[in-house]
Structures are given as C-alpha cells and as structure tokens.
Amino acid sequence: MSPSTSHPSPPDGGRRCREATDEGAAQSASRKPSPGPPGHPLPQAGEGDLETLLRSMNPVLHEGEFVFCAAENAPEDSIALFREEEGLTVVIGRRRADELSLPYSYVAAWITLAVHSDLNAVGFLAAITGALADAGISCNVIAALFHDHLFVPWEKRHEAMTVLRRRSLS
C-alpha cells in the first residue's frame, strides 16, 4: 500500500476499540502476541527495567534538520507520519520539505535512543523528558516498536546530547 493511500475510518468511528469489556480485556491479556505478517515476525520484547534503560539508552544524533508539517499525502521519504482528525502530520527532512513547499514552524534535531525499549516500560520517557525539561529543552517524542525518538530544537541539539549522556551515567 502506498503512503498516499487513505485509510477509511471504521464504521463505528473506532468506538469498538474504546468499548472493550472487562471480560474481553482479560481474554486479550491472556493471548500471546500475533507472530506478525509472514516473513516479518515480531521482535523480542525490549528492555523494561528503568535503570537498565537509562544506563544503556545510547543517544544517537542524526545528521540534518527535521520538521513537522501538515500534508495532504505523505512523501515517500517521510520518517514518520501521524493521522489526526485535523489532518496528516509528516516528519521529514527540512531540505525535502522546502523542495515540496511544505510549511513548517519548528526545526528539530532527531535523536534516537538506541536501546531497544519495551513499549510497556514505565518511567523511561518521563525520566528522559524530565531531564531535558530541567535544562530548558523542549522535546517531542515518537515511541516506535524498537526505539524511542526525540525531536529537540535544532539550536539545542548538542546541549540535549550532553543532558542525555549525563543522565545515562547517573
């Protein structure tokens, strides 16, 4: 399916997902995760221990500037997209956004926390974003299946890396 293909809303507007019964939730909790599509098995669960996550977060600063844009369709080279009621948000390299004349107001650096974190891990992103907030650095987070990705103001990228490395050592 191409990135520009639209996905119709479910006929119930997604309410079924929000209306799970206690019995249904208990049944879901006892099921093993789906093995994933053929040829694409689900990965092993990531790290869930907070102290281990913090010690081994290994922040990696990507090259280039990144921006969040509103777009009708997702360009193929988008690094992330999210469909909201108001429209499609695309995260893309600044140069590419300029080539496509996509408006933006926030220019960010992209930092990946290279530790494979479990999506059920409690407190990891709170500790990270709290340390950045204490240093006066805003942070927009995208949690993905393997890693967490931070988008910080471009001009504060090196300071953010210092804060993250320091937090990893404490």
Residue ranges of domains in the chain:
46-169
Mean pLDDT of 130-153: 94
Task: Provide Rg for the chain, Cα atoms.
Answer: 18
Superfamily of domain 46-169: VC0802-like (3.30.2130.10)
User: pLDDT band for position 145 (50/70/90)?
Assistant: confident
Q: Which residue is listed with tokens 């690094």? A: 79
Pick from 37-41, 119-123, 148-152, 160-164: least confident: 37-41
Q: What's the pLDDT at 124?
A: 82
pTM: 0.72
Task: Give pLDDT tens digits for 1-14.
Answer: 444 333 333 333 43
User: Which residues 6+ apart lie within 8 Å of 94 measured at CB?
Assistant: 64, 65, 66, 67, 104, 107
Higher per-residue pLDDT: 156 or 47: 156
Judge whether 135 and 159 are in contact, CB under 8 Å. Answer: yes
CA atoms within 13 A on the CB side of 53: 22
**Gap between the Cα atoms of 56 and 115, Å rounded:** 6
Highest mean pLDDT among 9-13, 19-23, 126-130, 160-164: 160-164
pLDDT beyond 60 at 63:
yes
Judge whether 161 and 111 are in contact, CB under 8 Å. Answer: yes
Hey, what are 83's tokens? 């469909």
Mean pLDDT of 81-110: 95
Mean pLDDT of 148-158: 97
